[in-house]
Amino acid sequence: MSELALASGMPGTGLAKKAVTITTRTWFVAAALGHWIFLAYILAVFFPPIATQGLDGLRGLHLPAGFREGEFLGNLAAASHVLLAAIIIGGGPLQLVPAIRTRFPAFHRWLGRSYLVAAVLSAVAGLYMVWTRGTVGGLAGHLGISLDGVLILVFAVLALRDAMARRIRQHRRWALRLFMVASAVWFFRVGLMGWVMLTGGVGVEFKTFTGPFLTFLGFAQYLLPLAMLEWYFRCQARPSGAGQWLYVVTLACLTGYMCVGIFAAAMGLWLPRL
C-alpha cells in the first residue's frame, strides 16, 4: 500500500486538466470528512460496550445480526467486524493523501498493512454474518453486499501482489479500487440518506428494507465509485479535452449529491448517537 495517490501527476494540458484535479480533490476532501464523521460514530457507539463487556457488549447495540445467545463464533465475527471498521473507515482516506505518503512513509506502510488485513477480515466476517445469521434487506441486498465482500478479497490480493513485486503503478490502481469497495458501506449510507432527504424515500420499503432503489444501491454502492475511478484513470492515461470536461461535470454532480448524503447521514444516523 505504499503508492496510493490521488490527483497527482496528471498528464495533459490546460484548463481541463486543472479542472479534473480540482474536482477530484474536492470530491476527496468531502469524502474524507464524511468518512471521519462515520468513524466518530463507530468509535463512540461500538468501542465502549465491547471494550468493557467483551462480546456481551453487543447485546445493547442496534445490530439485528449482532448478538445471538451461545453463538461464540458469530458473535466474535460481529464484534470484530464493527471494530475493524474503524481502521477501514478512518484509515482509508489517510492512505490517499500524497503528503502523508511522502513525509511519513513508515506510517503509510504500517497503516496500509493494517488496512489490508482489516478489510480482508471484515469482509470474511461480513460474509459469515450475512449467510449464517441473515440481516435486514432482501436477497438482492444480500447478493449486492456479498459481491462487494468478494471484490474486497480479490482487490486486496491483487494490491498486495503488485506491492510485493514492486509494480508500483499497478499497485496504486488496485489499492484505489480496494478503497472504493472497502468504503462501499459508507457510500451506501450516504447514498441512501441523500435519497431519503431529496425524495422522501421513493423506491424504498422501510419496513422490510427492500425496494427498487435499495436493489439499485446495493450494487451501485461500489460499482458507481469503481466506474468513476476507471474514468479518472482514463483521464490520466488518455487525456482529451471533451472527455475530461464530461468527467468534471459528472463528478461535480455526484459530489454535490454526496455532500447532501453526508449531511443527511451525519444529522440522521451518526451525530445523534454520539
Residue 159 vs 185, nearer CB to ligand HEM? 185
Q: How far is the CB of 85 from ligand HEM (least distance, A)?
A: 4
Name the residue number minimizing CB distance to ligand HEM. Answer: 126
Tell me how crowded residue 109 is: count the other CB atoms within 10 A of its CB: 14
Residue 57 vs 126, nearer CB to ligand HEM? 126
Backbone torsions φ then ψ of 95, nearest 5 degrees: -65, -20
Q: How far is the CB of 90 from ligand HEM (least distance, A)?
A: 10
- Using the CB atoms, write b or e for 10-44: b if 16+ within 10 Å: eebeeebbebbbebbeebbebbeebbebbbbbbbe
- Asked whether 95 and 28 are in contact (CB, 8 A), the reply is no
Residue 182 vs 214, nearer CB to ligand HEM? 182
Q: How far is the CB of 55 from ligand HEM (least distance, A)?
A: 14
Q: Estimate the crossing angle of helix 184-199 against helix 168-182, to 10 degrees.
A: 50
Residue type, 85: A
Residue 20 vs 214, nearer CB to ligand HEM? 214
Q: Is 205 helix (H, G, I), strand (E, B) or coil?
A: strand
Residue 16 vs 180, nearer CB to ligand HEM? 180
Q: Estimate the crossing angle of helix 139-164 against helix 184-199, to 10 degrees.
A: 140
Strand partners, 210: 205
Q: How far is the CB of 23 from ligand HEM (least distance, A)?
A: 26
Q: How far is the CB of 64 from ligand HEM (least distance, A)?
A: 4
Residue numbers of the site for ligand HEM (CB under 6 A)?
42, 63-66, 81-82, 85, 88-89, 119, 122-123, 126-127, 129-130, 135-136, 145-146, 148-149, 152, 182, 185
